[in-house]
Amino acid sequence: MKKSIYLAVAALLMLGACTPDSHSLDSLSLQPSDLTHGSAFSVSVDAQNTVTLKSLLDKSYNCYWIHPNGRAQGPVATLQLPFAGKYDVTFGVDTRGGVVYGNPYQFEVTTNNMALLADPLYTYLTGGVGKSKKWVPVDKDYGVGQCTGPVMYCNPDDVLNDGSNSTDIGINNMKPNWDPGFQSWLIPADDPYMDSYMIFSLDDVNGCSITEYRGEAGTKGSSTGTTSTGKYTLNVSDKNHPTLSFSDAYSMHNVGFDAVCSNYTSNIIITELTPYMLQLATMRTNSEGPWWIIWNFIAADVQDGTVVIPSDDVNYLNPSTPVLPTISDLKTKIFTTDINGVEYEGAEMTFQVVGDAPYDWMWWNGGSSAWESVTGGNYGTNWAPKADEDVVTENELTLTKKGTFTYGNQAGSYTIDEGKIIFDQEVSFFTVTGDARTIEVKGTEWQVFKCDPGSELVLGVANGKDTNGNINNYLVANFSYKAVGGGQTGPVNVPFDAANVNNYIEADKYFRCQLYNPWGGGNDAIDPANVKLKKDQKINITVKLSGFTFSQTAKMALCCNRGNEQGWEPDCFGYARAIDVNGDGTYTVSWTNDTGSTVKWDDGTSALTITMQFDGYATLPDDDYASHCTLESITIE
């Protein structure tokens, strides 16, 4: 049995001459004949079928290896091959004249080592040695895999979808940012792709083999497509990051996504593999930008009912029923705004479409029991096109307490009932058209997802159901309150009592200027009721330093328990809002409300403190900290 391993080694440019004794070669004049086994690289196989690939070139070369178990970087790479057979290795060097590859070198593994297949993932994938297992696209919610359909999405900058900003995607270390279920523009329920399958086999004759069929035309149940047979390699050397690689086959995906991801064959990341569920992640590489595409497969014997997933299985999720938001006193909040920081309830209210994020989808994540945004504020893709300017400038929604409404050329009546606004006619808020799809934001019955008086109103129309018939997907329209005429247009000045500013040294390292501490028990420099920031508003605090002697530039930052960057010292000094301080003078620190809604400091959940690096950065002549840092102003804009 012949298997191929392609090995690529990239070498940095070398200065000076190379000698044969050190296996150093001139990186400009290298020829394929120079890159031979024994002179440029070596391959050794031990009794346990562990193969060691080693570069014999000078250590200044950077080496990259591609082998059946994945990729590696460095002068040495190891892999384990459970089956006997002949394998080809190709060695290459990146020279100043371009990449040069040597001729294939063949080595042989003479015996099988079935002990290398002891990892349970082999059994989950294939059913065990001498067996085969069939996997098909997920067609409904099976209670596992955090999915209800064949494909879903995961944010590469926050793979746990919890704000931790982890990028470490791996097995059991991924949460989708969107599970679309079935969508007509993506993969509908009757798509020919739903006839696709992968059969993974494992035996001592054919080794790790795969047979797969992809439905590419027609409809589910009567599709036509392509059948392939090939080899696969399951790499379990890193228990937290197992991968699959394919030869003469590929990681299954629908035909419409052929050009979406550039890699469907090498080091495909496994995010879940149990006897019931297989999930594979491929990276989107087209013009829409990087994003993890998660391909969901259910074991065929689970789909046909032969095997029942036990509800006490560690990976089993009993998805919760969608729970709609509850907004108390909605009829009052809709008509409440503020003028110069004072709440005002009017007889009518006008709302404008949010320009940079006019629409979104809210989907119910049954695993985390929460409604989650699909776009994450990202527009301009094929599936989430950007709205034209006239969408956000031409029309306004006006509601009156009498129960009438106007929107563009439409006018009529409405009622508010159990968190819904129900119009007497279908209201078409706007249409967004992209290259691949058109999104019509229209409907009669609108669920209120958010009503933040004076800030935003989010209305959603039903857009999809789960397998139990519960609405779990809404297409939402995002509105902002139109400013009431006559209000202040410039920054709002927040009053303060400078005598109550608390300056002190924290942990012998940081100089703090504390304005408000809900847990401190003392007097505060501000009344927290005066500090209220709408979505995207910014608070600016200016202080004046005097008497400091700096030995190096320090960082100063405004700290609070709000938003995406809540860390205190020392994390806050790495935030973009941190400023440089290198002498006496006036400095302004800021925080922009990135929480997505209005925040109020009188809720008692956040302090308001300025902090600066001190130990090793600056000194003071005495301990009269109050005289060395004075509060000059606080504004909100």
pLDDT, tens digit, for every residue of 400-438? 999 999 998 899 999 999 899 999 999 999 999 887 678
CATH number of the domain residue 46 falls in: 2.60.40
**Same domain, residue pair 105 and 127:** no
Residue 323 is assigned to a structural domain of this protein: no
Q: Is the pLDDT of residue 343 over 70?
A: yes
How far is residue 414 from each of residues 77, 400, 461, 552, measured CA to CA in Å? 69, 9, 15, 64
Percent of the chain beyond pLDDT 70?
A: 88
Name the domain boundary from 88, 113, 138: 113
- Cα-based angle 42, 44, 45 (whole degrees, multiple of 5): 160
Residue 399 is assigned to a structural domain of this protein: yes
**Same domain, residue pair 563 and 606:** yes
Residue 315 is assigned to a structural domain of this protein: no
Highest mean pLDDT among 44-53, 56-65, 146-155 belongs to 146-155
Closest CA to 395 of 413, 378, 383, 411: 411
The reported pLDDT for the residue numbered 13 is: 29
Domain residues for 538? 492-636
Tokens 């080899």: give the residue: 231
The DSSP code sequence of 348-406 is: EEEEEE-SS--EEEEEEETTTTEEEESSTT--SSSSSPPPPHHHHHS-EEEEETTSEEE
**Same domain, residue pair 459 and 505:** no
Sheet holding 2-6, edge to edge: 2-6, 85-90, 105-109
**Same domain, residue pair 139 and 263:** yes
pLDDT confidence bin for 342, thresholds 50/70/90: low
Q: Do the bridges between strand 92-95 and strand 410-417 make them parallel or antiparallel, or are there none, so unpaired?
A: unpaired
- Cα-based angle 65, 67, 73 (whole degrees, multiple of 5): 25
How far is residue 43 from each of residues 38, 46, 110, measured CA to CA in Å? 9, 10, 14
Residue 320 is assigned to a structural domain of this protein: no
**Same domain, residue pair 105 and 247:** no
**Same domain, residue pair 81 and 189:** no
pLDDT confidence bin for 443, thresholds 50/70/90: very high
Distance of alpha carbon 454 from alpha carbon 345, whole angstroms: 10
Residue 310 is assigned to a structural domain of this protein: no
Name the domain boundary from 113, 130, 165: 113
Distance of alpha carbon 144 from alpha carbon 198, whole angstroms: 19
Name the domain boundary from 61, 94, 113: 113
**Same domain, residue pair 149 and 284:** yes
Distance of alpha carbon 360 from alpha carbon 373, whole angstroms: 7
Contacts of 104 (CB under 8 A, 6+ apart): 4, 88, 89, 90
**Same domain, residue pair 256 and 173:** yes
| Cβ(472)–Cβ(319) below 8 Å | no
Which comes out higher in pLDDT, residue 362 or 7? 362
Closest CA to 51 of 229, 230, 231, 233: 233
**Same domain, residue pair 469 and 525:** no
The reported pLDDT for the residue numbered 21 is: 40
Q: How many domains, the chain?
A: 4
CATH number of the domain residue 362 falls in: 2.40.128
The reported pLDDT for the residue numbered 184 is: 81
The reported pLDDT for the residue numbered 537 is: 85
**Same domain, residue pair 21 and 43:** yes
**Same domain, residue pair 181 and 281:** yes
Q: Is the pLDDT of residue 180 over 90?
A: no
Tokens of 280: 């594979």
**Same domain, residue pair 213 and 86:** no
Residue 309 is assigned to a structural domain of this protein: no
Distance of alpha carbon 126 from alpha carbon 139, whole angstroms: 21
Residue 314 is assigned to a structural domain of this protein: no
What is the CB-side half-sphere exposure of residue 559 using CA atoms within 13 A? 22
φ, ψ (nearest 5 deg) of residue 302: -80, -40
Residue 324 is assigned to a structural domain of this protein: no
